[in-house]
């Protein structure tokens, strides 16, 4: 029987987040500590049955609260073991517990749900849970996590995860996290993954396919890949320098922030690769035997530092993800004998000069947050900073930025204040010109 609906109209923070770009996603009334997800998925029929236990701490008194969940049907909700009233409409699961939750209290919400999962449609197309020709791909940036589990879908609410997934035995299940156990049943296999590092919901991912696992590199950070047999030969060439890329990035940015790195090559074409926590997903079209897309390999790996370990507090600050990962492409190019960072900076500065200067990098607006101008001009901002403070100070500030904010959230203001510690003069003019104003500054050059 369907429980009575929660009355419309909630207390401040009960339904909306503080993210100015996506205020309809997330909830400001609590912080999630841990997600425990038990999932059963049937590939052929695309049926998902789930049980989620969300452990959270109230940051204000709560007579009601909400979680994000799209498309799937909710069967039962309990708060601290007691049945709760709920209303599930338009991607929001609004919950009224039997007893109000006091400020600072830790509480557990259990949701049983299921149905046919599918992506969330919006201004960036379809994101989240998506069926492949033979399997599943999950790419949730920025707000597609609600396509497969109930969550507080905001980047600053990082939590730990335990994910148990059961599906047909011929399929390999890869979840962002460390594999805890794997057990066979009658035609099915159950995989259990744990993510101990605080993780934003959009960075959790599930990949299901007929994959084989191969090593990307030996020694150091465990680096593996999940591929289909037909791409094995070309993959070995195109990803053949991955161990070197990892070594360069650890030297420049500091130790890799997770236990291992997993690359998945889906047996479908993808428009763009996708980063997740400790994982990156590529399409088979990103392999051509000529390392044409190696810059994307470097870009996605760099996101493990910039975007995943250090996660933006809200989407205004996305240049801290994309500008840094783009600059990492240029750094790898120079380190591997390709065009130098100066050459990349010169080319992209000319490209930017040929396009309208109508984006403010530090606050591009929700419609422009994935604009190439944010990526390239964000990288040029770092190039200008490097030219200003010098080589030694620049890479020292990057390594300490990563170390001091490991597994936390970050803002542009924090980065500006951090960089100022490594400069002999004021950086206000540099950051104002590159980040706060749309006009393109002159090209900096590193000698």
Q: Which of 35, 261, 375, 422 is catalytic?
A: 375
DSSP reduced 3-state for 368: helix
Strands (E), 82-222: 82-83, 85-89, 92-96, 106-115, 120-122, 125-132, 135-139, 159-168, 172-175, 178-184, 188-199, 206-209, 212-217
Q: Which of 202, 300, 327, 329 is catalytic?
A: 300
* 88 annotated as ligand-binding: no
What are phi and psi for residue 228, nearest 5 degrees? -95, 150
Spatial distance between the Cα atoms of 88 and 113, rounded to a whole number of angstroms: 11
Q: How many residues does the chain have?
A: 447
Spatial distance between the Cα atoms of 354 and 211, rounded to a whole number of angstroms: 44
Place of tokens 């009575």: 4
Spatial distance between the Cα atoms of 15 and 22, rounded to a whole number of angstroms: 12
Spatial distance between the Cα atoms of 369 and 123, rounded to a whole number of angstroms: 11
Report how far apart, in Å, the C-alpha atoms of 262 and of each of 233, 293, 325, 352, 445 are: 18, 17, 18, 34, 36
Spatial distance between the Cα atoms of 265 and 283, rounded to a whole number of angstroms: 5
* 303 annotated as ligand-binding: yes
CB-based contact 183:190 (threshold 8 Å): yes
Told to judge if 375 belongs to the known catalytic residues of this protein, a careful annotator would answer yes
Q: Which residues, other chains included, contact 215 with Cβ-Cβ below 8 Å and sequence gap of 6+?
A: 223, 224, 225
CB-based contact 162:34 (threshold 8 Å): yes
**How many CB atoms within 10 Å of residue 28?**
21
CB-based contact 209:267 (threshold 8 Å): yes
Ordered alpha helix ranges (H), 159-241: 232-238
Residue 150 token pair: 């109930």
Spatial distance between the Cα atoms of 132 and 383, rounded to a whole number of angstroms: 39
Q: Distance from CA of residue 344 to its chain's centroid?
A: 26
**Exposed, middle or buried: residue 243 (CB in 10 Å: 0-12, 13-18, 19+)?**
middle
- The residues annotated as belonging to the active site are 300, 375
Query: Per the annotation, where are the binding residues?
Result: 299, 303, 322
Query: Per the annotation, where are the binding residues for Zn(2+)?
Result: 299, 303, 322
């Amino acid at each position: 029987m369907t429980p009575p609906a929660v009355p419309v109209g909630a207390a401040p923070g009960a339904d909306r987040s503080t993210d100015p770009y996506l205020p309809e996603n997330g909830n400001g009334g609590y912080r999630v500590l841990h997600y425990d997800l038990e999932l059963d998925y049937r590939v052929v029929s695309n049926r998902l049955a789930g049980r989620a236990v969300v452990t959270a701490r109230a940051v204000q008194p709560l007579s009601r609260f909400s979680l994000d969940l799209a498309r799937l049907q909710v069967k039962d909700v309990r708060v601290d073991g007691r049945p709760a009233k709920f209303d599930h409409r338009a991607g929001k699961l609004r919950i009224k517990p039997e007893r109000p939750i006091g400020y600072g209290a830790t509480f557990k919400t259990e949701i049983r749900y299921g149905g046919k999962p599918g992506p969330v449609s919006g201004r960036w197309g379809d994101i989240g849970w998506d069926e492949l020709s033979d399997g599943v791909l999950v790419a949730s940036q920025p707000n597609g996590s609600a396509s497969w589990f109930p969550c507080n879908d905001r980047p600053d609410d990082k939590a730990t995860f335990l994910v148990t997934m059961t599906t047909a035995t011929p399929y390999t299940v890869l979840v962002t996290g460390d594999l805890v156990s794997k057990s066979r049943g009658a035609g099915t296999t159950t995989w259990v993954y744990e993510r101990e590092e605080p993780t934003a919901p959009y960075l959790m991912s599930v990949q299901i396919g007929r994959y084989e696992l191969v090593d990307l590199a030996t020694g150091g950070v465990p680096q593996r890949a999940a591929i289909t047999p037909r791409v094995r030969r070309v993959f070995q060439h195109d990803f053949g320098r991955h161990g070197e890329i990892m070594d360069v990035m650890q030297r420049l940015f500091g130790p890799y922030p997770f236990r291992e790195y997993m690359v998945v090559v889906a047996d479908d074409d993808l428009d763009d690769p996708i980063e997740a926590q400790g994982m990156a997903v590529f399409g088979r079209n990103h392999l051509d035997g000529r390392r044409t897309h190696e810059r994307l390999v470097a870009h996605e790996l760099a996101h493990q530092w910039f975007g995943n370990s250090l996660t933006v507090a809200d989407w205004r600050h996305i240049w801290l993800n994309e500008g840094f990962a783009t600059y990492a492409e240029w750094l790898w190019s120079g380190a591997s004998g390709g065009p130098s960072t100066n050459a990349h900076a010169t080319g992209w500065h000319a490209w930017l000069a040929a396009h309208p200067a109508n984006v403010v990098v530090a606050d591009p607006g929700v419609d422009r947050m994935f604009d190439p101008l944010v990526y390239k001009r964000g990288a040029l901002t770092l190039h200008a900073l490097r030219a200003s403070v010098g080589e030694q100070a620049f890479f020292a500030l990057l390594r300490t930025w990563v170390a001091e904010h490991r597994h936390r959230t970050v803002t542009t203001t924090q980065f500006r204040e951090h960089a100022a510690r490594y400069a002999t003069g004021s950086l206000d003019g540099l950051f104002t010109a590159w980040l706060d104003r749309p006009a393109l500054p002159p090209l900096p050059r590193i000698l």
